[in-house]
Amino acid sequence: MTGLGGQGVQLIAKLLAHAAMSEGRQVMMFGLFMGTIRGGSSESTVVVGDGEIVTPPLVPHAWGVLAMHGDGLAKLAAKAEPGGLLLLNSSLVAAPSAWPDVRVLAVPATALAKDVGQPMGAGMVALAALAAATELVAVASLDAALDAVLPPHRRAQIDGNRRCLARGAAWIAEAGLPAASA
């Protein structure tokens, strides 16, 4: 997952990790972000496995990338596996041309979040779209994990975040997009 500080990249990575754990999966998460709260680079890698993950894995390749902003895409292109998925927030990111054999799913996450009255919830929209398109985790597991993941100062937005998750999943269904295997 890549974006800028303030877009919720670290939060949605943590939400994905908690949802996967609630489904009995093994998870490791690695967050990388600059010292600024907003506007700096923010990236997170979430490794989800069916078996035990005994050491921090090297992650030379990725089957899926979620891009909230285009700044981090160039370095991730080399990691994208053929047949993988690039889900991008098409409200802010243009589809890159250097991703051969990768399915590009352009979700207008920022616009959809604004439509449900939660303009800061674009990451939640994108994450639910990723879950709905790949079946990596159930969208219901993401929704349930909100209680554990949202910090106290963000609890007032829990209902808005739930609307964003629902909207992201609904957008995939409305678009009639087939699920990809995760």
Average pLDDT over residues 162-173: 97
**Of all helices (H) and strands (E), which one includes residue 82?**
strand 80-89
Three-state secondary-structure class, residue 142:
helix
Give the pLDDT score at 180.
Answer: 54
Average pLDDT over residues 100-128: 95
Confidence of residue 20 (pLDDT cuts 50, 70, 90): very high
Confidence of residue 31 (pLDDT cuts 50, 70, 90): confident
Please report, for the chain, the start and end positions of each structural domain, with discontinuous segments joined by +: 2-175
Q: What is the pTM of this model?
A: 0.90
For domain 2-175, give the CATH number.
3.40.920.10
Give the pLDDT score at 171.
Answer: 97
Q: What is the pLDDT of residues 72-83, one digit of tens each?
A: 788 888 888 899
CA angle, corner 38, sides to 141 and 18, nearest 5?
Answer: 15
Give the pLDDT score at 61.
Answer: 83
Contact indicator for 118, 158 with CB cutoff of 8 Å: no
* CA nearest neighbour of 163 among 125, 106, 120: 125
